[in-house]
Amino acid sequence: MIKKVLTIAGSDSGGCAGIQADIKSISACGGFATSVITAITSQNTLGVTYIEELSLKSIETQLDAVLSDIGTDAVKTGMVASTDIIKLIAEKITEYKITNYVFDPVMVATSGDTLLKSDAIESLKKYLLPLSMLITPNIPEAEILSNITINSDETIKEAAKIIHSQGAKNVLIKGGHADNKYSTDILYDGTTFKEFKDLRIDTKNTHGTGCTYSAAIATNIAREHNLYDAIALSKKYITESLKYGVDMNIGAGSGPVNHFYMLNKTV
């Protein structure tokens, strides 16, 4: 049976990130994607020009519609912009006894536009982080969550320990914002550290990489891979998506990765 993966996130009208990227990623990795939209963003490869949150009633009824009938084998969250939305999602994760929950703490878009209200950061820590099987911050997000400056592998590990102490079962800090030959992501499970490393791809088309990666991890968890293998498979997927997205001429700014590279790659 095909495994079901629910993404709870904002809609990106440009199709690069958010719900649109998640659905592409889940589908490419072999899952059946369902979705709950938390906000509508007017967005393209150059930036975000407008954000409108959906009502709590709309978000709640979407959640109940999907979970009461279709159910899910894993959940991932992306853009959840306000405290009220965060509390509602936490209540539903608890109500429906969801354990395979991947928490991507989306705070800032690739363009630099803010996607999370400042007063909601503590709510993320209080309500969603303790429910997560895995949290997947990039370096800037990990700095905000841990309240330390990250400038080395040692400070990445220090930040991971702090975030783990806040309630996350597993912490994966992504190395995409570092400046070196390899893109290295570091996983901390409360006891040990493991690295996931691949060559860094030189490309401007990185819009939606975090959404794509976390959705892939959730899908591979749903498909019953253990956490280490789920991350390793998803790391390979995002790297290939970046590699085969280098020449995609979509928009004037930071374009999308190639979610379905396997359909048109020539080598």
User: What are the residue numbers of the active site?
Assistant: 174, 206, 208-211
| Runs of H (alpha helix) within the chain | 18-28, 56-65, 83-95, 121-123, 139-146, 153-165, 209-222, 227-243
Angle between helices 209-222 and 227-243 (to 10 degrees): 140
The helix (run of H) or strand (run of E) holding residue 50 is: strand 48-53
Strands 74-77 vs 101-103: parallel, antiparallel or unpaired: parallel
Buried b (16+ CB within 10 A) or exposed e, 38-59: bbbbebbbeebeebebbeeeeb
Bridge partner residues of 4 (DSSP): 32
